[in-house]
Chain A
Amino acid sequence: MKIETAELTKKYRLGTSEITAVDKVTFQIAETKFIAIIGPSGSGKSTLLNLIGLNDYPTSGKIFIDGVDALMLSNSERRRTRLFSMGFVFQTFNLIPTLNALENVELPMALAGKPKREQQQKAMKLLEAVGLEKRFLHRPKELSMGEMQRVTIARALANNPQIIIADEPTGELDSKTSKEIIALLFDINRKEKTTVIVATHDEKIVGLADETYVIRDGKLKLEE
């Protein structure tokens, strides 16, 4: 999946003032790359990822997904793109608390209409791949932060996405677990040829990324 943006801008109104969270960002995400977007808190990382992940609409500018203008997609087409082509990893995991690890991973496959047996087999395989083979039936509150993030990564991979969008995936984790999660994402990128785009202020990721962008006050710049 190839994603391009052109003059992408997102502005928020905060009281009487207007904040430009993403300011005329034009860049390309090449397929199978591991891309890091770094910047301090409030620099616009999450907003940019929400726009790329079709979870938000830009104030102006364009996003092209495989050459198609995302603004021309209907709501249901945007959902289908998120469901079948994208995987999301959130800083706060956002697992469904009433479902166990296995069910959380099965969820995207259930939404995609895959047979129950297939869902179960694939979810087990994915949880094994992220090292949670003994935690299938544990609910999120019974898991450690690192384990929860692993479940989130397994969930993101459920429908074989072409791109994984990870917003501060190590933000809540200690440094040892952070390293493991980064290694896991890097592994997925290399083995599965899945594009991974990570927003972070974790400098450790920078060294691993194929491309690193710096975002500051909404402006994006490729770090040479």
Chain B
Amino acid sequence: MRTALCIIGVALATTFVIAVGATTMRYTTVIREMNVLFSGQILVVHENAIVIQAIPIGGSMLRQNRTETALHNVSGVDKTIPILFVTPIEIGGIIRPVPINFSMGIPVNDWQLILGSIPLKGNIGHFPTSESSYEAVIGASLADQYNWTVGKEITVKGFKLNVTGVLDTKLAILNRCIVMPLTIAQGIYVYPKSVNMICVKPMQGYSQEELADTIEQQVPEVNALTEEERNDMIQPVLTQVETWNMGIQTIVFLMSLILVMTVTAMSVTERRRDFATLDAIGAPLSYIFRIVIFETVLIGVLGAILGIVFGSLAALVLASLYTNIPLTMFFPTFYEIIPPFFMFQIFLAVVFVCCLGGIIPAINATRMRIAEVLRAEY
């Protein structure tokens, strides 16, 4: 009974570690991969804007024409791509605690520069063809959730858009994104001739750092951020999140260690006659030691397996709760949310911790004073 409770305790600890760890990992991965979209390019935003990786949050808008003209006057600027990035977009009137749905307006001629070679699912459909066409390509996750298919008409803030394709990508941000022509986005979100970021492609031979510095000197009221700067800005936050996660894991593992150690010590004390008997009939110390360690490893294995199963479910439920995406939609991407290597790491860590918890009781089991223990039973 006590051992069963100990297994449940270890399983609960593992569940917590898996659920919190997987959720944290998911967040940090999503934030890290945001930069992939604008790799090798400088992002120009208003100096008031807070930028999380590639995503400007709040701050003033940039006047599109004026800023683009100013940027083209800077030596080393090869191309500018104005982008309107809006988050969150409300679907069904629900705003979640974390932004999960995004809308992006990109000039139709510059799709390739931003979205690169991302194909459309099943090679069906096409990217919007004209700046004035009410067309959009959508992320696969949005498409699955709302049953949006190519050719279907969707309504965003009262405007009807025709879905011309579904993006086939693993990037979480694009999976939850509606990408439309810039002019249409400006109309829908009521930001006429305004954008909140301009992507700048440096000319060959110009370093990102130097060009960004020049832009900030020559173009008023903007921040020009290189890929490295964007990473540097978010890195302390991600490090802090990961440190907290590590701290929580350490505390939980420490508690498991104490639990296993206490329960095993009690079990060894209760069975001291058995261990003394084994000792009396000549069992090697290593044999007695192994019995106790084997038991704690078994507790670890069973606890870890149960914990991984429940923790994975908990991680999926958490992901579903904070995104309002139905739970079933996460099943196909199960191994992306809880990577097998992460599960394996936690499994090993739990078994190791339980094994560690068994060491002191195992040593005690080998140090029974046979005569005293067996005499005490009379």
Distance, CA A47 to CA B285, complexed state (A):
23
Residues in A whose Cβ lies below 8 Å from that of B285: 75, 79
Q: Mark A79-91, 1 if CB is under 8 A from B, else 0.
A: 1111110101011
Residues of chain A lying within 8 A (CB to CB) of residue B374? 50, 55, 90, 92, 94
**Is A92 a contact partner of B378 (Cβ separation < 8 A)?**
yes
Decide yes or no whether A144 CB sits under 8 A from chain B: no
**B residues near A86, Cβ cutoff 8 Å:** 282
Q: How far is the CA of A76 from the CA of B282 in the complex (A)?
A: 9
Given contacts A50-B370, A55-B370, A55-B371, contact A92 B377 (CB under 8 A): yes
A to B CB contacts below 8 Å, 11 in the list: A46-B378, A47-B371, A55-B370, A79-B282, A79-B284, A82-B281, A83-B283, A92-B273, A92-B378, A94-B377, A111-B281
Would you call the interface of chain B mostly helix, strand, loop, or mixed?
helix
Give A220 to B287 CA distance when docked, in angstroms: 36
- Which residue of the partner chain A has the closest CB to B377? A92
> How distant is B274 from chain A, measured CB to nearest CB, in Å?
6
Please encode chain A, from 92 to 116, with 1 for each CB lying within 8 Å of some chain B CB and 0 for all others: 1011110000000001100100000
B residues 228-287 touching A (CB-CB < 8 Å): 273-274, 276-285, 287
Pairwise interchain contact B274-A97, C-beta atoms closer than 8 A: yes
Within 8 Å CB of A97, what residues of B? 274
Chain B residue nearest to A55 in the complex (CB): B370
> How far is it, in angstroms, between the C-alpha of A90 and the C-alpha of B371 when the chains are bound?
12
- Are A88 and B281 touching (Cβ within 8 A)? yes
Q: Kindly state whether residue B375 has any CB partner on chain A within 8 Å.
A: yes
In order of increasing CB-CB distance, the 3 nearest A-B pairs are A83-B282, A82-B282, A56-B371
Kindly provide the distance from the CB of A114 to the nearest chain B CB, expressed in whole angstroms: 13
Expressed in whole angstroms, the minimum distance between the Cβ of B363 and any Cβ of chain A is 14
Interface size on B, residues (CB 8 A): 20
A82–B278 alpha-carbon span in the complex (Å): 11
Task: Say yes or no: B282 contacts A111, CB within 8 Å.
Answer: yes
Q: Which single member of A55, A75, A95 contacts B280 (CB below 8 Å)?
A: A55
A96 touches B284 (CB 8 A): no
Chain A residues with CB under 8 Å of B284's CB are: 76, 79, 111
Is A50 touching B371 in the complex (CB atoms < 8 A)? yes
| A111 vs B288: C-alpha distance when bound (angstroms) | 11
Residues in B neighbouring A76, C-beta threshold 8 A: 284
Beta-carbon contact of A155 and B371 below 8 Å: no
With A and B bound together, what is the CA distance between A46 and B375 in angstroms?
8
Give Cα A155 to B277, complex, Å: 12
Cα A107 to Cα B277 in complex, Å, equals 11
Overall SS of chain A's interface: helix
Contact in complex: B378, A80 (CB < 8 Å)? no
Q: Which of B323-378 contact A (CB under 8 A)?
A: 369-371, 374-375, 377-378
Partner of B282, one of A46, A84, A96: A84
Are B280 and A111 in touch, CB under 8 angstroms? no
| Docked pose: A83 CA to B283 CA in angstroms | 7
- Chain A: minimal CB distance from B149 (Å): 62
Q: Whose C-beta in chain A lies nearest to the C-beta of B287?
A: A111
- Give 5 new A-B contacts, CB below 8 A, not counting A96-B274, A111-B282: A56-B369, A83-B281, A92-B378, A96-B277, A107-B278
* A169 close to chain B: CB less than 8 A: no
Q: Does A146 contact B (CB under 8 A)?
A: no
**Residue B283 contacts which of A55, A92, A111, A155 (CB distance < 8 angstroms)?**
A111
Q: From B282, which residue of chain A is reached at the shortest CB distance?
A: A83
Residues of chain A in range 31-66 having any CB-CB distance to chain B below 8 Å: 46-47, 50, 53, 55-56
Cβ–Cβ < 8 Å partners of B377 in chain A: 92, 94
Contacts of A53 in B (CB 8 A): 280
**Residue among B276, B280, B287, B375 making CB contact with A82, cutoff 8 Å:** B280
Shortest Cβ distance from B275 into A: residue: A96
The smallest beta-carbon distance between B270 and chain A, in angstroms, is 11
For residue B276, which residues in chain A have a CB less than 8 angstroms away from its CB? Answer: 94
B268 to chain A, nearest CB (A): 14
**Once the chains are docked, how many angstroms separate the CA of A70 from the CA of B282?**
15
Per the bound structure, the CA–CA distance linking A90 and B281 in Å amounts to 11
| CB within 8 Å of A: which B74-119 residues | none
Choose among B276, B284, B378 the residue with the greatest number of A CB atoms under 10 Å from its CB: B378
Nearest opposing residue in chain B for A76, CB measure: B284
Min CB–CB distance A147 → chain B (angstroms): 18
Beyond A94-B273, A96-B274, is A107–B281 a contact (Cβ under 8 Å)?
A: yes
Given the interface pairs A96-B277, A111-B287, the reply to whether A80 lies near B370 with Cβ below 8 Å is no
A88-B280 in contact given A94-B273, A96-B274 (Cβ < 8 Å): yes
CA distance A83 to B278 in the complex (A): 10
Docked complex Cα distance between A97 and B375 (Å): 19
- A91 touching B378, Cβ below 8 Å: yes
Most chain A CB within 10 A, of B279, B280, B282, B284, is at: B282
